[in-house]
Structure formats: structure tokens, C-alpha cells
Amino acid sequence: MKFNNAYVTLVYDAVGKSKADTKQVDMYEGFRTGLDAYTNEDIRWPDVPGMKERYAEFADTVSKLVMRIMRALGHGMKLKDKDYFCEAHSLMNQKGNISVLKSIKYMPVVDGDPDSENRIGEHTDITTLSFLFQDQMGGLQVRDVSNNLVDVVPVEGAIVVNVGEVMQEWSGKRLRATRHRVVPPTDPVKQKQNRRCVGYFAQANGKIVMRKLEFEDGNADSDEGTDVEPLTVDQFMTKGLKRYFPELEDLES
Ligand SMILES: [Fe+2]
């Protein structure tokens, strides 16, 4: 296992490693998997029976859901090429695509330590779409269109889907990236407990160039596009990741 690099297949994020809003250290630990972690026999997983198989199965299931949503988006947004988003995600859970399945544990609040209340600072994800499977502890908040923070109350069996920065940029800001954060629950008993969440951070294939999308009804004046020196998905993501993980400063775009 290799640490401190976003582009590896298995990554352990220690508590305090990320600064989502740059002002505070985030109090969670995470385990990220992606690329060919599920199929490459040379990659060593933690010695936990069934772990690799469970992750692989879940990543595969969620990637199928991602495809359904991408297909719906292509139709709903009236893209000229309705399958464009699907084709752009064709390599999920394989080399060439850095979609990530991540299990996250937020730490309990410690009396007298205000820093322990920083579960994760306000940010937007550098994804196309993010799928969050949260437990019943609460604490996730999103900004609504009026810029108010709203609690995302856990609903059994529900998946939270956030738009990420890649989709925002790509869609000419027709879709807006969801600003969100995690704070401790108000219940003092729950504050002393871990909060667990599983996230699937969907990403388009790295070599895709984020050219302005073409819509059936043409592009509106209000569209803000990336048609001036468009970046590849990899380049866009690398720029964004450096904001959250300062130790990646030397990572090449
Ligand atoms: Fe996030």
C-alpha cells in the first residue's frame, strides 16, 4: 500500500490529513480504493477476510447505478449525444479512471478540544457525481440555492447524490457543485460516537477532454464553458486535489 498519492489503488487517509476548506484539519480517517484494486492480483489488500470481495462487489454495483444516472442526465439535459456521459465513464473501477470507493470514519468529539468538532470542512467534491451512503448519526449539511446550510437528515435506504466540480465545469454550470460539510450531531450522546459513511466518488475517464457540452437546443448565453484551453479530467482533478491534500503539491498534472 502506498500513502500520500491520489493516483494509487489503495490509500489510507489518516486523521488530520485533509483540509477540505483549508482553514481546518478534518477529523476523519478513510480507506480509498479505485483503479484496478479489485482485479489486479498484485495489489495487496489488508489482511481482512472478504474485504476485497465486498469492496469489489459494491464498487461494481454502484458503478452500474452511476451509469443509469449518467444516462438519465444525458437525456434530461438534452445532450446532442445522449450517451456521452456514459461513454465518458466507461472505465470505472479500471485503470484509466480514478473513481473512488471510500469508507470514512469520523472521530468522536473530545471534551475541551474544539478542533475535534471539525469532521470535514465545507467544500465541493472534485467528481462528476458523488454518492453518499450515510449511517443514522447525522451531521451532513449542504448549501441550498439560497446559500443556507441545510441538514441532510439520514433516511434509511436513501443515497445522497451530490454534483461535483467536474460536472459543474463540464455542464457550463448548468449543474452546480453541491457545497457540503459534516459537523457533529447535536445529540451529545451521538457526538461521542463515530459517524460512518461510504462514498462512491464517480469520475469520468482521465483522458477525456472537458470540452463544452453540446445541447440539442444549442448553447445558451448563460452557459459558462471550458472551451478555452480545456483540461483533461485528470488535469482538472489534480488541480483540485492539491487544494485538499497539500502534500500533493509536487504531483504533476
Ligand atoms: Fe465531500
Q: What is the pLDDT of residue 2?
A: 35
Q: What is the pLDDT of residue 250?
A: 55
Three-state secondary-structure class, residue 201:
strand
Q: Is 40 exposed, middle or buried (0-12, 13-18, 19+ CB in 10 A)?
A: exposed
| Side chain identity, residue 146 | S
Write down all domains in the chain, each with its CATH number in brackets: 10-247 (2.60.120.330)
Three-state secondary-structure class, residue 54:
helix
Query: How many whole angstroms from 8 Cα to the centroid of ligand 1?
Result: 19
Query: How many whole angstroms from 132 Cα to the centroid of ligand 1?
Result: 9
Name the pTM for this structure: 0.88
Q: What is the pLDDT of residue 167?
A: 93
- Looking from the CA of 230 toward its CB, the CA atoms found within 13 Å total 18
pLDDT along the chain (253 residues), means of 10: 53 77 78 89 90 95 97 94 94 91 91 80 92 93 94 94 93 90 89 92 92 81 61 86 64 48
- Looking from the CA of 130 toward its CB, the CA atoms found within 13 Å total 24
Query: How many whole angstroms from 150 Cα to the centroid of ligand 1?
Result: 15
Cα torsion angle, 198, 137, 157, 75, sign: negative
Query: How many whole angstroms from 182 Cα to the centroid of ligand 1?
Result: 9
Q: What is the pLDDT of residue 226?
A: 52
Query: How many whole angstroms from 203 Cα to the centroid of ligand 1?
Result: 13
Residue written as grid cell 484496478: 36
Please give the sequence-ordered ranges of beta strands (E in DSSP) within 74-221, or none if there are none: 100-106, 120-123, 129-134, 140-143, 149-151, 160-163, 180-182, 195-202
Query: How many whole angstroms from 60 Cα to the centroid of ligand 1?
Result: 21
Query: How many whole angstroms from 218 Cα to the centroid of ligand 1?
Result: 32
Query: How many whole angstroms from 121 Cα to the centroid of ligand 1?
Result: 9
Query: How many whole angstroms from 229 Cα to the centroid of ligand 1?
Result: 27
Query: How many whole angstroms from 199 Cα to the centroid of ligand 1?
Result: 9
Query: What is the full DSSP assignment across 73-111?
Result: HHHHTTBSSTTHHHHHTTTTTSTTB--EEEEEEEPPP-T
